[in-house]
């Protein structure tokens, strides 16, 4: 899955100021194992290719927080990410949770605007719960990030 995430991030080379993401560290194999064991890790596979996308996250008291949604560069724009998020929604509903949450870049077209098309809404800083506020504070170095919520 680290290879899928690395490939997925290559698209950031097209966005001025965020090119560094394409070469930034990806989730480690251990992080993936931890989320498989105690959170959510769902994959998309293609016949003859193997894993081409994944979504992972962890359960909070009120929501399933998505840490990563990644689709291999060669398979983007085919609805794979949307289907992975739909599967995460089903998993959250099975747990009786009220929402999916994530953090992302506001202005990048395949980030906040994409998630808005899927029903997520930006939650402004003054309306964040302590969990989402802490996540955004940890991610502050990435700049222009926002928290988003999809009510289930």
Give me the mean pLDDT over the 135-142 stretch: 83
The pLDDT, as a whole number, for residue 54 is 97
The pLDDT, as a whole number, for residue 72 is 97
Residue 44 and residue 83 in contact, taking contact as beta carbons nearer than 8 Å: yes
Q: Which of 14, 4, 1 is nearest to 105 (CA)?
A: 14
Neighbouring C-beta atoms of residue 33, cutoff 10 Å: 11
Instruction: Kindly indicate the confidence band of residue 40, based on its pLDDT and cuts at 50, 70 and 90.
Output: very high
Phi/psi of residue 121, nearest 5 degrees: -130, 140
pTM above 0.85, yes or no: yes
What residue spans define the domains of the chain?
2-151
DSSP assignment of 103-120, as one string? EEESS-TTSHHHHHHTT-
Q: Which of 107, 130, 149, 131 is nearest to 16 (CA)?
A: 107
The pLDDT, as a whole number, for residue 152 is 96
* Token pair recorded at residue 92: 């959250």
The pLDDT, as a whole number, for residue 18 is 87
* Token pair recorded at residue 71: 């689709």
- Whether the predicted pLDDT of 53 surpasses 90: yes
Instruction: Kindly indicate the confidence band of residue 123, based on its pLDDT and cuts at 50, 70 and 90.
Output: very high
Superfamily of domain 2-151: Gcn5-related N-acetyltransferase (GNAT) (3.40.630.30)
């Amino acid at each position: 899955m680290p290879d899928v995430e690395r490939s997925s991030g290559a698209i950031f080379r097209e966005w001025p100021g965020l090119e560094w993401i394409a070469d930034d560290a990806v989730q480690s194999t251990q992080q993936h194992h931890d989320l498989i064991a105690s959170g959510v890790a769902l994959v998309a596979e293609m016949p003859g290719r193997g894993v081409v996308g994944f979504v992972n996250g962890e359960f909070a008291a009120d929501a399933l927080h998505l840490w990563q949604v990644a689709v291999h560069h060669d398979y983007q724009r085919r609805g794979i990410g949307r289907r992975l998020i739909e599967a995460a929604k089903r998993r959250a509903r099975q747990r009786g949770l009220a929402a999916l949450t994530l953090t992302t870049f506001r202005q990048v077209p395949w980030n906040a605007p994409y998630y808005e098309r899927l029903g997520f809404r930006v939650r402004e800083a003054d309306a964040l719960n302590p969990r989402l506020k802490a996540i955004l504070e940890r991610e502050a170095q990435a700049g222009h990030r926002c928290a988003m919520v999809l009510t289930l």
